[in-house]
Amino acid sequence: ANVFVNINDLSNQDLLSIIHQALLFKSGQLLPVMNKQVVANLFFENSTRTVTSFQMAEIKLGYERIVIDPNKSSAVKGESLEDTLKTLKVIGVDTVVIRHTLRGWYDNFCQMAGKEIPKLINAGDGNGQHPSQSLLDLMTIIETFDHFRGLKVRIIGDIYHSRVARSNAEILDRLGANVTFAGPKVWSDPSLTQFGHVVDMDDDLEQQDVVMLLRVQHERLTDGENAHFTIDQYHEQYGLTRARYDRLKDQAIIMHPAPVNRGVEIDSDLVESPKSRIFQQMANGVFARMAILNSLNTSVLQKELLK
Ligand code: CP
């Protein structure tokens, strides 16, 4: 493949193979074959986890990496993304990891990837998709439950603005999980209800296997939208409070893509509670991103190891 832009484009077999590879990287059972790929990292939107773990993955794979600051690049002078990508290709970049505010920034480039422009990895496009987050989330679920079929997954919060919700709802539904959504009506997204019902936050909490909290995305909200709740109101109505935590079954897990608004989506004391997988998700991000990069550049030897 020359692109990794939307997790829902992968077949179940390819998806499970990449997760398997990520788990092998994590356990040390699969050691990368060093090949001198050159990867450029171009983040037009802020990031801590995604940008750092892609770079850590590149280091662990032995790739050469280039970090481009968009604010100091010629994008500021008005150069188009297409010309930027063509430029990186002729300079010698093999793969480019991009986060962009524009939903679907990659739509016009997939056919060109690996030819006129570098191979493409989407590190988040506006409120569109976040496929590498989705992969690390699936990896984290597999580590706990070893399957997806029949798992009850509740996705809670700012669904409308969330690329994490969009990526995960569709793929989890396809993999056989039972997805439900909860959160403020004003942030619901009718286009996602084909993948799960909208329910009340407190319905059947005792039966959920995965409680997936979403960040309130202040940067994507208008002033009017921000005015819907105070922090305390949001936390009480839609946050994971201690009382709600205590209703969860012992085996349930709590996920959040982070950064976390402590005291808003989740009581600060619960971020590192026994049921929380939030920091495990971040750690898994390195191995998931190694597997993603590797899926675009798999050498023959590695394919042999995976058989
Ligand atoms: N989860 C996530 O994408 O975090 P960053 O925005 O810090 O990369």
In tens, the pLDDT along 201-245 reads: 999 999 999 999 999 877 666 666 666 788 899 999 999 999 999
176 pocket-lining for ligand 1 (C-beta < 6 Å): no
pLDDT tens-digit series, residues 68-126: 999 999 999 999 999 999 999 999 999 999 999 999 999 999 999 999 999 999 999 99
The owner of tokens 């893509």 is 257
Assess whether 136 and 269 both reside in one domain. Answer: yes
Assess whether 26 and 96 both reside in one domain. Answer: yes
Distance, CA of 187 to chain centre: 19
pLDDT at 83: 98
- 134 CA distance to ligand 1 centroid (A)? 12
Assess whether 89 and 165 both reside in one domain. Answer: no
259 pocket-lining for ligand 1 (C-beta < 6 Å): yes
Domain count across the chain? 2
Distance CA 82, CA 67 (A): 18
Assess whether 259 and 289 both reside in one domain. Answer: no
Assign residue 88 the CATH number of its domain: 3.40.50.1370
pLDDT tens-digit series, residues 36-65: 899 999 999 999 999 999 999 999 999 999
Residues belonging to the binding site are 49-50, 77, 99, 130, 133, 163, 215, 258-259
Assess whether 107 and 156 both reside in one domain. Answer: no
Choice from 44, 133, 161 to test ligand 1 binding pocket (greatest atom count within 8 A of CB): 133
Of 127-131, 172-176, 181-185, 223-227, the poorest mean pLDDT is in 223-227
pLDDT tens-digit series, residues 262-278: 999 999 999 999 999 99
**C-alpha distances in Å from residue 118, one per residue of 32, 199, 216:** 21, 43, 33
133 pocket-lining for ligand 1 (C-beta < 6 Å): yes
Assess whether 88 and 168 both reside in one domain. Answer: no
The whole-number average pLDDT for the span 132-145 is 98
Q: Give the domain extent around 182.
A: 131-280
Assess whether 63 and 150 both reside in one domain. Answer: no
Assess whether 142 and 173 both reside in one domain. Answer: yes
Assess whether 212 and 140 both reside in one domain. Answer: yes
Assess whether 138 and 274 both reside in one domain. Answer: yes
Assess whether 167 and 79 both reside in one domain. Answer: no
- 45 CA distance to ligand 1 centroid (A)? 10
- 305 CA distance to ligand 1 centroid (A)? 31
The whole-number average pLDDT for the span 4-32 is 94
pLDDT at 226: 66
Assess whether 92 and 135 both reside in one domain. Answer: no
pTM: 0.94
Q: How high does pLDDT run on average in the chain?
A: 93
pLDDT at 49: 98
